[in-house]
Amino acid sequence: MSANLQKALAEVSEKLDRVMDELLPSPLQMANKVISLHSREEDNDSVEAKPSGEAKVMEAMRYSALAGGKRLRPFLTVESAKLFGVNPDAAMTTAAAIEFVHTYSLIHDDLPAMDNDDFRRGKPSNHKQFGEAAAILAGDALLTYAFEVLSHPSVSADPNVRCELIRSLARAAGVRGMVGGQMMDLDAEHKTMEVDEVIRLQRLKTGELFAVSCEVGAILGKAPDAMRSRLSRYAHDMGLAFQITDDLLDVEGTRTATGKGVKKDKAAGKATLIGVLGVERAREQANTLAKQAIEHLTPFDNRADSLRALASYVVTRKS
């Protein structure tokens, strides 16, 4: 990874964590609010702050949302928004909403009924830390909260823009996007799939959320449809290259390096391009997709250099 890209990713990650920390109050902060409300009627000394159901869910939400990670989707949102002169605070709040949806998907993906992973980002998965019921509820809460965040006027004074943000993210996360792709992934276990079927699966499961991460920058900036389409195509190609690299890391990586279990896809009968094409041809495909992604950014000249650097990085990363 280039020094410039590393610095840019770190800056977005740091700012994002601050925004998400504010949007997700800690259980202690929630308890203090309860005390404040009670104190209107009785002496503070007589009030004992007890962990509420909301606080328990919030702790599980924060555990996964603030656990770090590459923060690629927020980075795409922030960088695409810059292309159209969008207010940085509005872009970062929108990025947080998308990261909440991504985090929800990871929590649910790790559940025993799905991918059954015990570790995520080097720590116990949410359901291993809090139990399956709390993990399901934490994921549900992050998903629904994302749309509440996007509905706030601080994201955009234009209600039409806010509605379009909500519609686009809902589509990317739903049956015609991430959820549909996850169902295809589960159905594909121990079943032979053709190359085009695997590509469709991965475009839905991974690519749609990458695509909307770029599109929201154009939506916030009220950009022409042609520019929005360019960013969407960039993100789809980059996202598929990212997923192929993820699959390569499952084959070639270690849990220490990746922060999660490895060598599980083949054992679970997962449909991957590696399974169809083999390791080397899949690697070649990832590199080709990264180059295609970069070509889509031509109209943005050097303003999109960070997005170009990201496309190159996703196929060389080690975690």
- Answer whether residue 47 is part of any domain: no
- Answer whether residue 39 is part of any domain: no
Q: What is the total count of domains within the chain?
A: 1
CATH code at 264?
1.10.600.10
Q: Which two tokens stand for residue 140?
A: 């549900």
Rounded Cα–Cα distance for residues 242 and 177 (Å) = 17
pLDDT for 1 equals: 78
Q: Could you tell me how many residues make up the chain?
A: 319
- Answer whether residue 32 is part of any domain: no
- Answer whether residue 87 is part of any domain: yes
pLDDT for 188 equals: 84
pLDDT for 52 equals: 74
- Answer whether residue 305 is part of any domain: yes
pLDDT for 3 equals: 87
Q: Which residues contact 90 (CB under 8 A, 6 or more apart)?
A: 81, 154, 155, 156, 220
Cβ(94)–Cβ(16) below 8 Å: no
Cβ(98)–Cβ(169) below 8 Å: yes
Q: Which two tokens stand for residue 297?
A: 């950014």
Cβ(30)–Cβ(73) below 8 Å: no
Q: Which residues of the chain have pLDDT under 70?
A: 30-51, 253-269
- Answer whether residue 46 is part of any domain: no
- Answer whether residue 224 is part of any domain: yes
pLDDT for 39 equals: 46
- Answer whether residue 194 is part of any domain: yes
For residue 199, the enclosing domain spans 3-17+54-314
